[in-house]
Amino acid sequence: MTKIILQRLTKRPQFLFVQGGARAGRPSLVVEARRRAESGPVGLGFTASKKVGGAVQRNRAKRRMREAARRLLPELGMAGVDYVLVARPQTARAPWPALLDDLGNALIRLRADLDKPGHKRRSRARANKSTESE
């Protein structure tokens, strides 16, 4: 198995790019993914809105997601794909095995979705505009 290199996503356009890709929601987190290139580093970003809680809860949720990603992405991640892990209110207090299970299941689902030929997801803004004009 080849070693996967992780690269942090830090800029807003990188997060918006991933938002237009595939998405897998689980009880303790949401994982978004989008293929960037056939090979190369795995892009990884984390986000937690104020819906998760105060600063302490958001930071705890992001720390837990970082550790879970560090453990699971080398075996379940795909080279050339950017991932964004989005915290939910349960992320900070979910049992550790449940969080790992949710992330693992989401990564497996996204791998299947991204391997489908011609997989494309419309952005939410375009989907809303097309339904409004009908």
Which CATH number fits the domain that encloses residue 70? Answer: 3.30.230.10
The arithmetic mean of pLDDT across residues 57-81, rounded, is: 93
CA–CA distance, 65 with 119 (Å, rounded to integer): 26
Whether residue 57 lies inside any domain: the answer is yes
Whether residue 132 lies inside any domain: the answer is no
pLDDT at 36: 85
Burial of 68 (0-12, 13-18, 19+ CB in 10 A): buried
Q: Given CA atoms 35, 40, 42, 45 in this order, what sign does their dihedral have?
A: negative
Q: Indicate the pLDDT class of residue 79, thresholds 50, 70 and 90.
A: confident
Is residue 127 predicted with pLDDT exceeding 60?
A: no
Nearest of 74, 78, 96 to residue 36 by alpha carbon: 78
Is residue 49 predicted with pLDDT exceeding 80?
A: yes
Q: Which residues constitute the domain of residue 11?
A: 6-116
Is residue 98 predicted with pLDDT exceeding 50?
A: yes
Whether residue 37 lies inside any domain: the answer is yes
CA–CA distance, 95 with 117 (Å, rounded to integer): 36
Tally the domains of the chain. 1
Is residue 131 predicted with pLDDT exceeding 70?
A: no
pLDDT at 84: 96
Nearest of 84, 108, 96, 88 to residue 36 by alpha carbon: 84
- pTM of the complete model beyond 0.85: no
Q: Which helix (H) or strand (E) holds 24?
A: strand 22-25
Contact 103, 66 (CB under 8 A): no
Whether residue 42 lies inside any domain: the answer is yes
Whether residue 121 lies inside any domain: the answer is no
Is residue 61 predicted with pLDDT exceeding 50?
A: yes
Whether residue 131 lies inside any domain: the answer is no
pLDDT at 50: 96
Q: Indicate the pLDDT class of residue 121, thresholds 50, 70 and 90.
A: low
Whether residue 122 lies inside any domain: the answer is no
